[in-house]
Structure 1
Amino acid sequence: MENDLITQTLKTYFLKKGKNLKVIQRYLRIKYNLAMDEKLLQKRLQNLSIN
């Protein structure tokens, strides 16, 4: 999977710091003005875990 903003955020906050997806979703919305659906974040996380 390419190393874009969402992937970097998931690696940093979910895998390393143990934050949940709601916190990551809020972080992306506030800091980068990205409205991400939680299901999309879950799918990205699954793809990240497989690779």
Structure 2
Amino acid sequence: VAPQYKKMANQFWPKAVLMRADVDEAKDLAMACSVTSAPTFIFFKNAKPVDKCKG
């Protein structure tokens, strides 16, 4: 997933910003976003989550 993710991050910049977080190190973030499995992709628009895709 990582190589494709990096490619997409470069492809869609600056219209979309792709960010990555290690949920083992960012447990508070994982809890706040209700992440229960990895990978999980959360899509935001205007700083609000609009969709979620769990892998």
Pairwise same-fold verdict (TM > 0.5): no
> Relative to total residues, which structure has the larger strand share, 1 or 2?
2
Which structure is larger by alpha-carbon Rg, 1 or 2?
2
Of the two structures, which has the highest relative contact order with CA contacts closer than 8 Å and spacing of 6 or more? 1
Query: Structure 2 length normalisation: TM-score?
Result: 0.28
> Relative to total residues, which structure has the larger helix share, 1 or 2?
1
Query: Structure 1 length normalisation: TM-score?
Result: 0.30
